[in-house]
Amino acid sequence: MNDAVTFRRMTEADLDAVLKIEYVGHGVINVIIDEAHLLNITVKPESQGRGLGLVLLEQLMKRAYEMNGRECFLELRDSNRSAYRLYERYGFNEIGRRRDYYPAVGGREDAIVMACTLFEE
């Protein structure tokens, strides 16, 4: 993979062209008034461990701030410790739990709710 990473805002109209580029991950944010929600962030397993998740998260939070987001919330499975460490490294703090929120093998799993304040960089 080329070490040059680029980010672009995409629309449905250019999705096919974007998917022809080497895909390593994506993220989705939603901003309503001044509250951002990180809905999804993923990096392909073979591209993990190279700092791309943090770079992607930084870009998403920058965009959320540009869209007037001043605080960001997210949730993740309790078992997703690598994501938890990534979010902590960025500045997210655990603010709550949703008990037995996700289905899991052998039962249910808690959702961890995290938040951070967004600042202009």
CATH number for the domain spanning 69: value is 3.40.630.30
pLDDT value of position 8: 66
Q: What is the DSSP letter of 13?
A: G
- For residue 21, give the nearest of 30, 8, 34 by alpha carbon: 8
Return d(Cα 63, Cα 120) in angstroms, integer.
10
Structural domain contains residue 88:
yes
Share of the chain above pLDDT 90, in %: 72
pLDDT value of position 21: 72
- Please tell me the total count of domains within the chain: 1
The range of the structural domain enclosing residue 100 comes to 12-117
Structural domain contains residue 2:
no
Phi–psi pair at 80, nearest 5 degrees? -85, 70
Residue 2 has pLDDT above 60, yes or no: no
Element (H, E) at 7: none
Per-residue pLDDT of 3-51, as tens digits, reads 566 666 767 777 677 666 777 899 999 999 999 999 999 999 988 888 9
Looking at per-residue pLDDT, the higher value among 17 and 104 belongs to: 104
Residues catalogued as catalytic: 75, 87
What is the average pLDDT score of the chain? 90
Structural domain contains residue 3:
no
Return d(Cα 80, Cα 102) in angstroms, integer.
12
Structural domain contains residue 4:
no
Return d(Cα 13, Cα 91) in angstroms, integer.
34
